[in-house]
Amino acid sequence: MTESHLVHSILEEFGALPSLRIWRANVIVARTQQGRVIRAGVVGQADISGIMLPGGRRLEIECKSPTGKQRDAQRHWQAMIEKFGGLYVLARSTDDVRVALERAGTLPAWPTPASG
């Protein structure tokens, strides 16, 4: 699964949950017709940002392919989010997000096939 496909899958699967508000967080650099450079976002920020219940805790989800690696700026972003009490998820699948949200108390644990 590509990183772009994973971003869309996470937004689709978790975006409508009442316990979350998540959105795509882009880092862009553009040039106006007059030649002025416009930057948006923070280098290293995660692909998906949000807040979650209970308590409005910050959520950051960095999407990576099975072989994708975090850049230094992304590791620094992760450290900052965690230092301030946020939840940072390095996701290679939607299951990674589900498990992290369950552990954070934002999602109830999903039933296993044996208990379901």
Task: Please give the average per-residue pLDDT across 109-116, as a whole number.
Answer: 54
Distance CA 96, CA 66 (A): 12
pLDDT at 54: 84
pLDDT tens, residue by residue, 40-73: 999 999 999 999 988 999 999 999 999 999 999 9
The structural domains of the chain, ordered by start, are 3-103 (3.40.1350.10)
Query: Does an H or E element contain 62, and which?
Result: strand 57-63
pLDDT tens, residue by residue, 91-110: 999 999 999 999 998 877 65
- Global confidence as pTM: 0.88
Neighbours of 56 (CB within 10 A): 8
Strand order in the sheet with 48-52: 20-24, 48-52, 57-63, 87-91
Strand pairing category for 87-91 and 57-63: parallel
